[in-house]
Structure 1
Amino acid sequence: MRFSGDPLTRFLYKSHTVLFGGPRVFYTQHPLRVYVPEYTIDLAAFEGLNNATLGHTVSPAFDLTVHVENRRFFEAWCHNQGEVVISYSGVALAWGRVPGFCLRRRSAANFTVVTWGQKVYLSDDLRKRLTREWHTGTAKVDVDMKLHYYPNCPFLPMMSRSGTLSIWHELMLGDTREIEINVL
């Protein structure tokens, strides 16, 4: 049996093994195990949308700063990888990969996600609307991020389930808003 280097995790494992005949009782009944980390997304930089007034195609790039705060008391929070798409009115403008990461219990981290699109076609109506909203300062983009997580309990991998965390965020270009998170 391989233990985490964390003294609290070792203590909990040993105490539940002695008291209850195994750690399964602790991990199936503890309500803090289901906490999903808190995510915030900020638009660090973007370029390539100002040429929407010149033609029917745009090649935008967005740099997103993602802040993750793992509030779990007893477990790490790990993602293997993910995908992100940035869209305007249902049209995908830019896309990219989210790097894998692992956060220790009760910790936080920031990472950058870079997305880009190549010659994305915009219809006349969509191009005019984007140009109008751009000039009035009301242009919004949608960030749709899918993060794939896998069992990450170091000594009970059969108690954790894999799945996908879906994060949707609406950004006014230059502004941040509330995030909606769905666990699938």
Structure 2
Amino acid sequence: MTALAAGTRHPVTITLNGQPRTGHAHPRTLLSDFLRHELGAHSTRVGCEHGVCGACTVRIDGVAQRACLTLAVQVDGRRVDTVEGLAREGRMTALQDAFHRHHALQCGFCTAGILMSLADWLVRVPKPTEAELRDMLSGHLCRCTGYAAIVRAVMDVTGQTTESVHV
């Protein structure tokens, strides 16, 4: 990698939700800020800016990562997916539909990050136990839902039931 001049904005080209996009970023510009302010992908939320809350989670080359801990120049030439890219041809995914049916969101601030983490995680753990799911969700802060409806939605979409979460 060539050295980047600190005071200069550099071109960054990514595949954003399946579409090639180019913007410009200083070497220290966070991916979350680049997506929101340079490319207009506003679903990438900025919560804590320390990687703790999970609101900024996106998938980089298919792997869930915190956009507030990643520099925009680090993703040059890579694929970045945000929640806008989950639905295909205007149709929600089964996971998004389950969130809707089970009222697994309230204010929605954390929802995009949770959906992006789950979309990656459920590929690797397609039939999680409730304990495994709760452990994964512990990497996300949600102040509204209490997580019960989120757990119900995920267990439903994986064809399972919950034992400790009551409707």
TM over 0.5: no
- Select the structure that is richer in strand: 1
* Smaller-chain TM-score bracket: under 0.3
- Select the structure that is richer in helix: 2
TM-score by length of 1: 0.21
Pair member with larger Rg = 1
